[in-house]
Structure 1
């Protein structure tokens, strides 16, 4: 996976379709988040078709419940708005679901995936 991740991040950080943030305590990285920008054909609730896909959101255990995730989500949502996205989507862990639900994300029961 390392070569594929390196290629992805190099390409998409350079062309602006991936953004990432670090939460830092002094010189220690204590949290991360990243978002990819994708485009679909426009539709009624998203007339420009742009979507932010949130990924790689993590906070070290000893730094949880200190507002880091909320600040990360603030940055994610603001960046998505600035980019012109009509929505932000996330695939979250059980803990992530709670954080995102508290923030205002809604579950979409219509989402399906076919993996191969």
Structure 2
């Protein structure tokens, strides 16, 4: 298996993977989000605030995972203020249960550490929760959301 960082040349592929992931998680594909996805991937990849890894086997993408880097005000528990949000974690059905997601997550943690980031967070799907818990992520009551 080959792990590599996605580039702007991969934008169309990343868009399709994201849409597949969302549908697989039970989200209804009732809107066209191509323009927004393309803008997101182009902007974040160019700015270096998205590190998207892809896993290939025999020139076929079999998994993907990413961190989006955000700047928050520094705090006593996070001096730099930088945090990495784990997203776009998705593995093809035939490759699940083989440790690929855990390996991807480890590589994303290394990327974050290389950038001096000490805090990571995520919103886990039901399928992903066991992977993240096993890795050491803990559930908190911190998050609240307002839908506008």
Compare the two structures and name the one with the higher strand fraction.
1
Query: Which one of the candidate residues 2, 14, 17 is aligned to 2:49?
Result: 17
Separation (CA, whole Å) in 2 of partners of 1:55 and 1:115? 19
Match of 2:129 in 1: 97
Match of 1:48 in 2: 80
1:85 corresponds to 2:114: no
Unaligned runs of 5+ in 1: none
- Secondary structure at the counterpart of residue 120 of structure 2: strand
Match of 2:142 in 1: 110
Q: Is the 8 A contact 1:45 1:86 kept in 2?
A: no
1:60 corresponds to 2:123: no
Q: How does 1:30-49 map to 2 (within 5 A)?
A: 30-49=62-81
Taking structure 1 as the reference length, the TM-score comes to: 0.95
1:104: Cα distance to partner?
0.5
Taking structure 2 as the reference length, the TM-score comes to: 0.75
Q: Is the 8 A contact 1:50 1:87 kept in 2?
A: yes
